[in-house]
Amino acid sequence: MSTTFLIHFALNCVKITDSYFTLSPLVLRDFHALGLAIEGWSIVSVHLFCSSFAPNFAAFVQRMGDGGSDFMRLIGHLKNESSAKTLADYLVSLDIRSLVEPDAEGWAIWVYSEDQIEAGREALSNYLHNPGDSRFQHASQNAAVVVERKRQEKARFEERVRTPDRIWVSSTIGPTTLTLILVSVAVTLLANLNPASPVRDSLRISQGLDGILPEVRHGEIWRLITPIFIHANVLHILFNMLMLRDLGSLVENRQGSKVLLPLVLTIGIGSNLGQYFYSGPHFEGMSGVVYGLLGYIWLRGHCDPASGLHLAPMTLAVMLIWFFLCLLNVIPYAANACHVVGLILGMVMGAAPLAKSIL
């Protein structure tokens, strides 16, 4: 079934019952051009798409989506661009959101909200009867005042409210997160630049001696957490530090170091013990903590939206793909038990608000 057919079929499914939902000939032509461009994918099709589809379809998308899920309403036409611009400014001064565009009958005047159709038509009628009225002569200045007021209101609103995208983009690296990154880089350099260095053996969870965690049982309790700071190579530490920077900073910026540090310690120790009992002492890396933070942010964001913790979709996708590539041994030598235990611990702690509400 061709793309052109599907687009035309979709258009035919729109029941045009009155002039409120009239699609201009330009829009219909644009949809046809879109179908040809996608279906043919040739130089001619792309040229048609770029030259005739793009400019008008942009206006169509604005009509459909910028003000909500409904189509914009056509309230009438004016003969020239200057008149249309004047009326548009006047509508702005009345707080009526509108759009003007050229079509076969002149300049079409569209209004976003159905609730404002009558007010828009009345304004158009008044303009047609007396375009020299002072309210229309000063429309541009009045519109500028309204636009500036709305800009200031939006800026104040954005200062108070942080959306998921804004939280993610605006997050700066926190001091605790930065300290963890610097310690990891320093330890990794010391452990890898000099193979004879005792750093790796002294920071691993155990040196593989007889019994369960003999060094820890003899007082070297730091070994429970220090494996998170050692990394095998550049790719290993680069991936973990990039994820730690994003996830750790997100938690720290929203909930503070007092939350992030216990999370890192709990997840780090738990994931290290999980990997130790699964495969022995020869493992290293921050990935268990990283997956724990992923699970924590993921669940806390769903259970407590007011926390401001939200995962960027791309980060979640990359982390989950990496998780399964390691689990399926496509990426070999990964500490999969660290990943699994860390993820589970993080999700459990992230779901704490839900558990409290149930209990």
DSSP string, 73-114: EEEEEESSHHHHHHHHHHHHHTT--EEEEEETTEEEEEES-G
Is 328 part of a structural domain of the chain? yes
pLDDT value of residue 223: 96
Two structure tokens written together for 281: 């002492």
Position 5 in a domain: no
Report pLDDT for 159.
Answer: 62
For residue 99, being part of any structural domain is answered with no
Using an 8 Å Cβ cutoff, are 191 and 145 in contact? Answer: no
State residue 315's pLDDT score. Answer: 83
Report pTM. 0.56
Task: Decide if 31 contacts 7 (C-beta within 8 A).
Answer: yes
Tally of CB atoms within 10 A around 9: 10
Residue 157 lies in a domain: no
For residue 276, which amino acid is it? Answer: Y
Averaged pLDDT, groups of 10, the chain, 359 residues long: 41 37 41 39 38 47 45 85 90 90 90 88 92 87 87 74 50 89 96 89 88 93 97 93 94 93 97 95 95 95 85 86 92 93 96 73
- Residue 171 is predicted with a pLDDT of 55
In a domain, 130, yes or no: no
Candidates 245, 44, 331; CA nearest to 237 is: 245
Residue 46: inside a domain: no
Give me the pLDDT at residue 70, please: 46
Work out how many domains the chain is built from and give that number: 1
Is 10 part of a structural domain of the chain? no
In a domain, 101, yes or no: no
**CATH label of the domain that carries residue 331:** 1.20.1540.10
Which structural domain range is residue 316 located in?
Answer: 165-358
Query: What pLDDT is attached to residue 2?
Result: 42
Buried-exposed string 277-295: b where 16+ CB fall within 10 A, e elsewhere: eeeebbbbbbbbbbbbbbb
* 101, 103, 108, 114: CA torsion to nearest 10: -90
